[in-house]
Amino acid sequence: MNTLIRGMSSALAFSVCLGSAQITSAQNDEEPQYGGTITQVHHRTHFTEPNLTGFRPETTHWLEGTWASPFAERLLIGDIEKFGPRGSGEYPFTTIEFVPYKFLSGQLAESWEITSDPLGVEFKIRQGVMWAGNDHIGMESREFTADDAVFHLETYLGTPQADELTFIENVSATDKYTFFVEFNEGNSFWPFFLGYGTRAPHRAPESYAAEGSIDDWRNQVGTGPFVLADYVPQSQFVFERNPNYWDTTTIDGKEYQMPFVDQVVWPMIPDAATQIAALRTGQVDWHTGVQKQFEASLDSTNPDMVKFSYPLANSKFVALKSDGSNEILENRDVRRALAIGTDNEAVIRAVFGSGELNGFPLDSGAAGIWTAIEDMPDSTQALFGYDPDLAKKMLADSGYPDGFELDLNIHTAGDYPDLAAIVAGQWERIGVKANIIGMEGGEANRMRTEHDYSGAYITDTGTSMIPFHLSIGLYGEGRTYNFAEYNNPEFNERHLAMEKEMDINKLTELGRQNFLTLLDDAPYIPFGNPNQVSYTWPWIKNYYGEIETAFVNYTPILSRMWVDQELKADMGY
């Protein structure tokens, strides 16, 4: 095999913002403790019935990956010990759903190698990793092998999920610990699809063969630090410590078996106010998704809690129909004038409280692709300023000295009406009258996905954190999430090249160019990403503000936490 790139051998440039973090002085000056329970409410707000409709990984997508993450491990994982705040500090691991290639490490795979002849990826399976076993299905613990990895991927290839995996030509185990995936063409998103994304958590073949198959929660078997011990619909998941877990962590030079806690509980609490009440009263130890509106109250009533602020995945923006169906917005200079006439920072302050201004189409976690405002070309930097006089002049130069009217479509739920009112007021200053058109539920979503509107649409995307969606899922010609119908031949050519580029450095450069091109053409006016907060009680130790280490995966963080049970008791809990 001719090697192109070896695992973890990339020289990406990166720029990240660690955000605000308050870390107690007792993070690492105490001996780790075993035992106790961590009750966690996480930022996956839809982690409740009736959304949770099954346990089959091939059909329940990201939701299944969430609840399975404590026991179902992946080939690749973000390396928080080496690169996170507890290590070199190069990457905060607060980016939702995505880990840059540079910061990946092996989990079930000890190493990996991209090959050119044949094209594909060869994974060396970590020896000695054991399936936990399951008394309910009569399965004894046994070693995870390359045959298990083949079973996992072939299972997906036999389902509708295979539509995303058409780049795979063949899957094979070349020996007990070597797993090879042959490609029929390049695919830049392979680390996500094969390594750490929604299709990556591995389950034992015995779970599928058991009575009730994988659909029965009691049949689940993984290799992770926890095992699924109980599931009560609309109530909670309970995970217990896997005593034979393979991985360890080193703290102050001493090696410890993971995990530290005996139990993890995930209550299913759909109401945000009820979540906060449970956190406030110590019934919840760790909440990774506290909305900013609750921060002042929690800081007042519970000043001892430790908190970390980070940007949300959802980036909100105004989509400007740019496909020629709207003569006014077809003009690039008009779109840029509207952007310059929009005070993004004022929107963040008024609606979100705080946020990251430069968070669209990617946030700072997109190492090497995302570009800081001060490093952007002058023409792009100008779009992040607010200059209504310049905007009016640009409109006049474009043939609109008296301005114009423009439909501004919104969903009537959430903060969209507030966003629309602020934008309309700002645009009025530059002579643009915004006709706000509100829609509810299904009609709003239909108009959004079918791009069936004229003028402008305030909406959001939940995948702004995944850089390669810049090519694969979002802003290219004909893509569902290209709400503005943006069509730039130069951009399109690059994004098609990105989809098949296997060289991470070339891919990163193409992405950086498209990141700047999309912003500069202004088919979207971004409002940035609002912040939210992760809170822990002081008795939770060895936590440094990380949020996800793979797509919907918090387990490497959980398995390293311990509970200071004496402190908890002293605090009256």
Break the chain into its structural domains and give their ranges: 3-305+537-570, 315-530
Q: What is the mean pLDDT of residues 246-250?
A: 97
pTM given for the model: 0.89
Backbone angles phi and psi of 23, in degrees to 5: -115, 125
Q: What is the mean pLDDT of the chain?
A: 89
Q: Average of pLDDT values for 129-153?
A: 98
E strand residue ranges, 416-563: 432-439, 456-461, 524-526, 529-536, 540-541, 562-563
- Model confidence at 25: pLDDT above 80: no
| 315-530 shares the fold of 3-305+537-570 | no
- The pLDDT tens digits for 518-554 are 999 999 999 988 899 999 999 999 999 999 999 889 9
Residue 280's alpha-carbon distances to 144, 273, 301, in angstroms, are 42, 10, 8
84-110 pLDDT per residue, tens? 999 999 999 998 888 999 999 999 999
Place domain 315-530 in its CATH homologous superfamily.
Dipeptide-binding Protein; Domain 3 (3.10.105.10)
> pLDDT grade, residue 67 (50/70/90)?
confident
**CA dihedral for 532, 319, 365, 225, sign (positive or negative):** positive
d(CA 204, CA 223): 9
Q: Which of 202, 249, 258 is nearest to 553 (CA)?
A: 202
In 3-state terms, what secondary structure has residue 132?
A: coil
**Looking at 4-13, 109-118, 383-392, which range is the least confident one?**
4-13
Among candidate residues 217, 219, 222, the one with its CA nearest the CA of residue 246: 222
Residues of the chain with pLDDT > 70, as a percent, come to 91
Q: What are phi and psi of 132, to 5 degrees?
A: -70, -25
Query: Any idea which of 344-348, 402-406, 458-462 has the lowest mean pLDDT?
Result: 458-462
Tens of pLDDT, residue by residue over 164-175, are 899 999 999 999
State yes or no: pLDDT of 28 exceeds 80: no
Encode pLDDT of 255-293 as tens digits. Answer: 999 999 999 999 989 889 999 999 999 999 999 999 999
Amino acid in position 285 = D
A 10 A CB-CB count for 53 gives 11
d(C-alpha 251, C-alpha 553), whole Å? 22
Query: How far apart (Å, rounded) are the C-alpha atoms in residues 271 and 309?
Result: 21
pLDDT for 60? 65
**SS3 of 315, please?**
strand
Q: Tell me: the pLDDT tens digits for 441-484?
A: 889 889 888 999 989 999 988 655 577 777 666 777 778 889 99
Please report the beta strands in 390-479, taking only residues with DSSP state E, as ranges in sequence order. Answer: 404-411, 432-439, 456-461
The single-letter code of the amino acid at 150 is: V
pLDDT above 60 (res 51): no
Task: Tell me the three state secondary structure of residue 209.
Answer: helix
Q: In this predicted structure, what is the pLDDT of residue 363?
A: 85
Contacts of 438 (CB under 8 A, 6+ apart): 410, 411, 412, 417, 420
HSE-CB of 212 using CA atoms within 13 angstroms = 10
Which of the pair, 132 or 472, is modelled with greater confidence? 132
Q: Which CATH code is given to the segment(s) 3-305+537-570?
A: 3.40.190.10
Q: What is the pLDDT of residue 9?
A: 30
Task: Write down the pLDDT at residue 56.
Answer: 82
Phi/psi for 332 (5° steps) reads: -60, -40
